[in-house]
Amino acid sequence: MQNDPPTSLEEILSSDEASFNYLDKICLNLKSNRTNPLLVLYYPATPDAMMSNDDMSTVYNEFRRSGFSRDTRRVKELDVLIHTLGGQADVGYMLGQIIRSFSDKVNFIIPFHSASAGTLTCLSGNKILFASYAYLTPIDVSLGTIPLMSLDYFTNFAVECRQKVEQMFQDNGFKDSKSTVEADLLVQLAQQIDGINIGRYYRERTLTGYYAHRLLNDYMFADSSEREELSAAISHDLIFSYPAHEFYLDFIFSKNLKLPEEELPEDQSDVAKKIVRMLDLYTNQNIACKEIEKGYRMPFIKMYG
């Protein structure tokens, strides 16, 4: 193991370059341990650091900067350390496609979490490697701060309310009586949320499911005789089968989902977590992932080839 990283503000601010040299040393340690080139995709856990369109060119340029080419020098096996709360589904899909355009085989390393659009990116891999107590999340989209699956649960609640009221009518001898409670509840929902936006987000959910199916079918299960069945089932489950957008899909749940995954050896897990903790530290001190404009904080994206 490496020596402990600098922890005091004075140590960090004494030399930004020295700090990043220390981070590079840890990343190269993981690369050497696993004997694969390493791409780090780190997003701070803040609302202004989500996966966005600018990241696509950054990832592409990191491959080219490291001397890799889609046509003449592809990566035989790549490790991608990813740490994100998500972002735009389109970006999650495109990052997966960019990574695969340079790489024959890809392992996604999850030190702590890769959520939502980050989960979508991971579906482009051949294998997902979980550090200790790491997790993915479902890929359901959100309506502002409201997960779309919450609308599904509310709709089901409205249906159940109507069924129970009508059953009560029947039990009390009112066989032809109907209840309007379902319609009343849905009207209240529509008054709270613009119906046009609801329709748009349901369309985006369909698009997200298509992205997931495409990545699973083309990459994760490309060599499986059951790839179409697995891709359809997993993409559906990741959108519809879990009780909350923030549901933690840990190693066990991912295994049950039939994703190709493994647990990282403990020494590699410790190093992967140390990389994220160092980047958390640098971000808190505004050394890494600086806010370059209001509402946008840069991720840390770097290839160690």
Positive or negative, the CA dihedral 284, 78, 34, 64 is: negative
Question: Which letter, b or e, does each residue of 273-300 get, where b requires 16 or more Cβ atoms within 10 Å of its Cβ?
Answer: bbbbebbbbbbeeebbbeeeeeeebbbb
CATH of the domain at 133: 3.90.226
Q: What is the pLDDT of residues 152-166, one digit of tens each?
A: 555 666 677 777 777
- Answer for the pair 181, 162: CB distance below 8 angstroms, yes or no: yes
- 113: domain range? 9-137+248-304
pLDDT value, residue 19: 64
Q: Is residue 59 part of a domain?
A: yes
Cα–Cα distances in angstroms (integers) from residue 45 to residues 84, 112, 248, 281, 299, in the given order: 7, 11, 16, 12, 10
Please count the structural domains in the chain: 1
| Residue 227 belongs to a domain | no
Does residue 193 form part of some domain?
no
Does 194 map to a domain? no
Domain-located, residue 237: no
CA distance to 152, 174, 182, per residue, from 165 (Å): 20, 11, 10
Residue 173 lies in a domain: no
Beta-carbon contacts of residue 239 (< 8 Å; ≥ 6 apart): 138, 139, 140, 149, 205, 208, 209, 212
**Encoding tokens for residue 247?**
């549901």
In a domain, 85, yes or no: yes
Check residue 9 and give its pLDDT.
46
For residue 1, the model assigns a pLDDT of 43
Q: Which residues of the chain have pLDDT under 50?
A: 1-2, 9, 12-13, 143, 196
* 263 falls within a domain: yes
How many whole angstroms separate alpha carbon 38 and alpha carbon 106? 10
Q: Which two tokens stand for residue 265?
A: 């050896």
Residue 4 pLDDT: 57
